[in-house]
Amino acid sequence: MTDDTLEERFTFRLSRMNVFIALGTLAIVLIFLTSFLIAFTPLREYIPGYTNVGLTMKLYNLQLRTDSIERALVAKDKFMSNLSDIINGKDLTDDKSIPGDTLKQYGNIKIKRSPEDSLLRLEIENQNKYNLHKIETIENTSQKKASIGGVLFFTPLKGVITNMFNPTQKHFGVDIVSKQNEAIKVVLDGTVIISNWTLETGYVIAVQHSRSIVSIYKHNSAILKKVGDYVRAGEPIAIVGETGELITGPHLHFELWSDGNPVDPNEYITF
C-alpha cells in the first residue's frame, strides 16, 4: 500500500500450491536455459564426451603451416650457409648433383624384365588377392572370432544402426546415423593406410591396426588425417557426411576386417 495515503496497490496470497508452482516454474526455466547454453554455446566443450570439430580442423591447419615454416627455415639456413661459403671463398656443394662418372657408368643401363620375373610377380599377386564373394565356413568364422574376441574397441560414433552387416548382399559393414558434423573416432591405435575420395563412397579413410585388423570409414564430409599418420584409439579422424553416389543421407558406413575377412562390427562394438 502507499505510504502517504495507505491506499492498497496490489495484493497476493501465499499458499503451498502457489509456492510449489512458482519454484517448479523457476526450476524448469533454469533447466531450459542450462540445456540451451550447453547445446548451442561453446560451454559444451567443457563437458566430457563432446569434441570441438572446429578446433581439430584448426590444429590440423596449424600443423600444415608449421611443416611449411620448417621447410622454409631449412631452405633459408641452407641459403645463409651457401652465402657464408661464397664470402669465405669456399666451394659450394650441391646435394642433388650426380658425379660425372656415375652418369657414364650407369647411363646406358636398360631395365628389362625377364619372363621368369614376370611369372613370379603374377604368382605372388594372385596369392594375395582377397575374394569378397567367398562364403565363410563355420570353422573359419569361429577361428576369426577368437582372434579378435579379446580386443577392446573404441566406439567410432554414437548413433542408430540403419543397415546391418550382410555379406550375402555385399554389405560388409554397418550404417550408423548420427547428428550432422559429429566427429568420427578411430576404434584402435594404428596407422592410416587410405585417405582419399572415391566416386561411390565419397571421402574414405582406413586404418591398419595390430593383429591384422583394419577399420574402414566411408561417406565422410571431411578427413582429418592423411596416409602415414599414427592415430590413438578415440582420436577424431573424420566428420560424418553424405558424400559419394551410394548414399541415402548423412551417416557413417563402418567396416571391420580381420585377417582379410569382413566381420560384423555389431558383435564387438556397442554403438
Q: Are residues 192 and 235 in the same domain?
A: yes
pLDDT of residue 87: 79
User: Quick one: 12 and 81 in the same domain?
Assistant: no
**CATH classification at residue 205:** 2.70.70.10
pLDDT bracket for residue 52 (50, 70, 90)? low
Listed in sequence order, the residues at least 6 apart from 242 whose beta carbon sits closer than 8 Å to its beta carbon are: 202, 219, 221, 249, 250, 251
Same domain, residue pair 9 and 27: yes
Query: Is pLDDT above 70 for 65?
Result: yes
Pick the range with the lowest mean pLDDT from 1-15, 133-147, 176-190: 133-147
Say how many domains are in the chain. Answer: 3
- When pLDDT is cut at 50, 70 and 90, the band that residue 174 belongs to is very high
C-alpha to C-alpha distances, 211 to 12, 124, 129, 136, 148, nearest whole angstrom: 74, 22, 19, 20, 8
Q: Would you call 173 exposed, middle or buried from its count of C-beta atoms within 10 A (0-12, 13-18, 19+)?
A: buried
Question: Residues 143, 223: contact at Cβ < 8 Å?
Answer: no
Range of the domain at 74: 52-91
Enumerate the β-bridge partners of residue 185. 236
